[in-house]
Amino acid sequence: MHSRLALTLIATLGLAAGSFAQAPKPAARPAPKPAGLGLKDGDRIIFIGDSITHQCQYTQYVEDFFYTRYPKLRLHFRNAGVSGDRAADALNRFDDDIASFKPTIATVLLGMNDGAYQDFTPEIFKTYADDMTKLLDKLDALKVRVFLMSPTMFDHQAFDQMVAKDPARGKNKKPDNYNAVLAYFGKWGQEQARKRGYGFIDLFGPLNKFTTDGRVKDPSFTLIADAIHPAGDGQFVMAYSIIEAFGEPGVVWGLMSTPAAAGGWKVTASPGSTVTATSGEAGKTLSFTLQPKCLPWAVLEEAKLGATLTAAGHRKGGEVLTVNGLQPGRYDVLENGQLVGTWDHITLGKKIELQADPESVTLSQARQVIMLNKQRNDEAIRPLRNLYGQRKGKLRAGDQAAFDAWWNGEGKKQEATLLQKAAQFEDEIYKANQPAEVRIEVRPSTQPEPAKKGAAKGAVKKAA
């Protein structure tokens, strides 16, 4: 018995020794994923949807972000929204409107019309699910990267107020629980995205949250005055949600300034931006030339509240400057000789954000870019979507021969003209979005001391 026990111990120890000897090495850490979409030059992004996409607003704001954030990448965008569309309608125009663009990335926003503006019924949902499945299968066949988006919000309060003023606006609609129906459609989409390995973007949640929060202070607050189509502010909330879901980084550029060991200053820029011609007396004055890698995300007047609600400037457009080692006092910060604002040495030593200045050099340039893109959407993209709306009407008329004659003749001729016009605007945008150099100066302030009572802590903006 003792010998058997000894043999057992020896065998056990031998196995243990072997297992220690063959212990696997710790797995190497996976390479970090690129921030955001990891876009490449030539990527083609398509927005598939209904009238909310046809509005050319959230799509335009997303385009604005990418045009200003990636000036060195030639990106192409197509709005593929048509007013009144359901998933079945997107299938009917798939080859001409979607596949022909050869997209590499697609967002899909459908469901608002598919629920038929009534309480949930299994039959209506089955039609939506079946048609969406066919649409997603066709996108998979194109090997496109898909982001499925939840339907947006139906604002019941806005609907009730609208119909009270104009009963005709409620014709053929019985949407007592329609916001809940859209929530269900969205959760179905989220599960489809998980199963297929898509990205999923929640638009329903943010629109509902900001609306609910807004009504705490103002009971009449809405982002969707007609209950269905978000206006500029709501559309910006959508755009922000898309950029956030894409994982795009928030800092446009960041600068860290510290006194150099040999005197003067050392200024370090975030990757992609460069700093040259640094000068100044350590602790007192500083100036340098910045070549930004990109521009901030500028916002049209129609969407300013949406930008405020989402804090988009801070979260997705930061231009950050930190200056350590300044002597106690107040300092003016200038861009190309123009005053941006006045801060004390403590605030500058932590950080300031320059993108908030409405007259900053980079923001002014970004505004030129987004105005060109607005013109592109107004004069080429929206008319193109109107053409596809006309196409749907002619197809539904049931005369296939007449439809084919029109579409293969005048229809495609108009499409080609509008696409050419859009491409010309795109060329102009890529000339305007190349960031210009900025000379930044920090010097003792010449601005009057702010009043202590009620004064903003740390910063004094220039007078209007």
Reported as a single tens digit per residue, the pLDDT across 77-106 is 999 999 999 999 999 999 999 999 999 999
Q: How many CB atoms lie within 10 A of CB 123?
A: 8
119 secondary structure, DSSP code: S
Provide the residue type at 225 as one letter.
A
SS3 133: helix
- Tell me the residue length of the chain: 464
pLDDT in tens, 428-442: 999 999 999 999 999
Return mean pLDDT, the chain. Answer: 92
Nearest-angstrom CA–CA distance, 91 and 80: 12
In this predicted structure, what is the pLDDT of residue 155?
Answer: 98
pLDDT for 452 equals 60
Phi, psi of 400 (to 5 degrees): -65, -40
Would you say residue 12 has pLDDT above 60? no
Residue with tokens 């590499």: 104
Task: Identify the DSSP state of 411.
Answer: I
Domain boundaries, the chain: 44-248, 250-464
Answer whether residue 457 shows pLDDT above 50. Answer: no
Query: Is the model's pLDDT at 451 over the cut of 90?
Result: no
Q: DSSP secondary structure string, 235-300?
A: HHHHHHHHHHHHT---EEEEEEEEE-TTSSEEEEE-TT-EEEEEE--TTT-EEEEEE-SS------
Q: Is the pLDDT of residue 20 over 50?
A: no
Residue type at 206? P
pLDDT of residue 43 exceeding 80, the answer is yes
How far apart are alpha carbons 383 and 14 in whole angstroms?
79
> Which long-range contacts link 286-289 to residues 24+ away (Cβ below 8 Å)?
286/257, 286/323, 286/441, 286/442, 286/443, 287/439, 287/440, 287/441, 287/442, 287/443, 288/439, 288/440, 289/437, 289/438, 289/439, 289/440
Q: Which of 180, 35, 203 is nearest to 108 (CA)?
A: 203
Q: Residues 295-310: what's their mean pLDDT?
A: 98
Q: H/E element holding 13?
A: helix 2-21
pLDDT digits (tens, 9 = 90+) for 157-168: 999 999 999 999
> 44-248 domain in CATH 1.20.1740.10?
no
Classify residue 410 by its DSSP letter: I
Question: Distance (Å, rounded) from C-alpha 322 to C-alpha 254?
Answer: 8
- Decide if 305 contacts 318 (C-beta within 8 A): no
Q: Report residue 329 CA to chain centroid gap.
A: 39
**Per-residue confidence (pLDDT) for residue 6, from 0 to 100:** 40
Number of Cβ within a 10 Å radius of residue 239: 28
> What dihedral angle (degrees, nearest 10) is formed by the CA atoms of 449, 451, 454, 459?
-10
Residue 21 in tokens: 């000897």
